[in-house]
Amino acid sequence: MSSNEGKLSHKKITQFIPYKTMAMDLEAVLANLTRIYVSRRDLEMVELLTACQPELFPVGSYDAEAERYEYVLKLAVPVKFHNHLRDNIDQIQPQLLADLGTVTAPYLHELISEVFVVLKIEQDTGWREAALDWVMEGGEPEPRKDIDVLLMVAPEDTALAGDLEQALARRQVRVARHVFVSVKDKDVHHALSEFEKRAHFGVLVVSASLLHLPFAPETLERILAYLMNPGKRFCQIWHQVERPEVAGRNPALARCLALTTARMSVDEIGALLMRYANLG
């Protein structure tokens, strides 16, 4: 493309921007779309649109001949629509696109070229409040501690703990471990208190062995509170377990991000822990 052509294209797009009003009218567009399905007495589509969370994304391609700007519309719907979408998505998406064409016909300079219907997954947002609590505490300098990383493991996972210790020791990281010999709430509470006093960063190794330990629900929630709170500087490593297994023990634990030995070497995990803990 010559410089003159580039300038001309840029000029066209600049002049075109004032016409882009569909994003501002998105709720009105959906209301009119719903009106079509009310007229058809399509209860399922009316409910789906009423419950959706819409987002409009500019595609970024400019059609110079038609002078239209393209958008992709994403409709995120609650999980309760899973079965309906699974069985009918091949009919739902083309129908939505066709009916949107009817509703948005007055927009001479814009069009929705694709529609995607996805499931809206509920997220845990408790970490936000916990992080703000850390901010309110003032971010005072952390006292000197004698441990860089504390590993918390089930008795059967000491071999993995040893490998992690070696990988971190090669990077001049001071490592210690706590083995869950006792899962009584007072003993776990003591271990977590010791972590805060002595270590900069904590790591929980979640394995089949740990998932089978008889933690009381309130004890597991105590550990989970550390994983959910960024201010506690605590993360988890999944060892020979996948998300369904973890979710079967505790769904909230499965929603927390984890490093995993299934797709990472111990050395790679050690390098990532260094970055997590700001140790190198």
Residues of the chain with CATH 3.40.50.10140: 126-276
pTM: 0.67
SS3 226: helix
SS3 22: coil
Residue 274 host element (H or E): helix 266-276
Question: Is the confidence at residue 13, as pLDDT, over 70?
Answer: no
At 270, which amino acid appears?
G
pLDDT category at 139 given cuts 50, 70, 90 is low
Region 161-165: what's the mean pLDDT? 94
pLDDT category at 14 given cuts 50, 70, 90 is very low
Asked which of 125-134, 173-182, 255-264 is least confident by mean pLDDT, the reply is 125-134
**pLDDT at residue 12, rounded to an integer:** 44
130 against 141, higher pLDDT: 130
Torsions phi, psi for 199 (to 5 deg): -120, 150
Alpha-carbon distance values, 92 to 96, 110, 261 (Å): 6, 22, 40
**pLDDT digits over 100-134, tens only?**
999 998 887 788 999 999 998 777 778 888 888 88
Region 183-189: what's the mean pLDDT? 94
**pLDDT at residue 4, rounded to an integer:** 53
Region 58-70: what's the mean pLDDT? 68
Q: How many residues does the chain have?
A: 280
**pLDDT at residue 144, rounded to an integer:** 83
SS3 238: strand
Q: Quickly name the fold that domain 126-276 has.
A: Rossmann fold (3.40.50)
- The alpha helices in 62-184, defined as continuous H runs, are 82-103, 126-136, 158-169
At 220, which amino acid appears?
L
Beta strand ranges found along the chain (DSSP E): 53-63, 68-77, 110-119, 147-153, 175-179, 199-207, 234-239, 258-260
